[in-house]
Amino acid sequence: MKSAQEWIESLQLEPHPEGGFYRETYRATRLLGGRTPVSTAIYFLLRSQDLSAFHRIASDELWHLYAVTPQTRLRIWRLNAERGLGTFLLGNEPSRGESFQEVVSAGDWFAGQLEVLEGGDPSQAYVLAGCTVSPGFQFSDFELAKADELCRSWPQHQELIRPLCRRESADNAPLR
């Protein structure tokens, strides 16, 4: 099995503002409204020391699993005004409640972090996933959460929210 570093190098992944590493692999040439591609796709890799900080985008995002170290899975938390707190596990063991693919709905706040189960090696753990976004992803539609604001909306979940937010998102300006 390849190491995280081997995937980062072979797929030419770069650091992502939310955490982890990524590379865009597809951007549709067909545009909606003359500006937004109908779909985009990326590779996305998280290691055990990485975090996909709470953020939201303006489109649905389909997560799909490509590679995962043994006894490792990715937990994604979602916050939605109507449905509340939800979670899914991206991994290769359906018997443990893990899925090969899941969707985060447009506008949901979401964050992710690896879970290394008993027998797994945290120093080597990673998940290599793909994210397909439709309508296509644009950084102008990407918003990192500010912990204080998210906690005001979800006070019952602040112990979860605070460690999964980036401190440098204080101005909450869209990243470009």
Residue 93 near residue 20 (C-beta atoms within 8 A): no
**Closest to 24 measured CA to CA, from 44, 4, 52:** 44
| 25 token code pair | 């692999």
Q: Can you give the pLDDT at residue 172? A: 41
In tens digits, what is the pLDDT along the chain, a chain of 176 residues? 899 999 999 999 999 989 999 999 999 999 999 999 999 999 999 999 999 999 999 999 999 999 999 999 999 999 999 999 999 999 999 999 999 999 999 999 999 999 999 999 999 999 999 999 999 999 999 999 999 999 999 999 999 999 999 875 344 443 32
Q: Can you give the pLDDT at residue 175? A: 35
> Which pTM value belongs to this model?
0.91
User: Mind listing the domains of the chain with CATH numbers?
Assistant: 4-165 (2.60.120.10)
Q: How many CB atoms lie within 10 A of CB 26?
A: 13
Per residue in 64-86, pLDDT (tens digit) is 999 999 999 999 999 999 999 99
Ramachandran category for residue 14: left, alpha or beta (phi over 0 → left; psi -120 to 50 → alpha): beta
Q: Can you give the pLDDT at residue 171? A: 44
Tell me, what amino acid is at 97? G
Q: Can you give the pLDDT at residue 166? A: 86
Residue 169 near residue 150 (C-beta atoms within 8 A): no
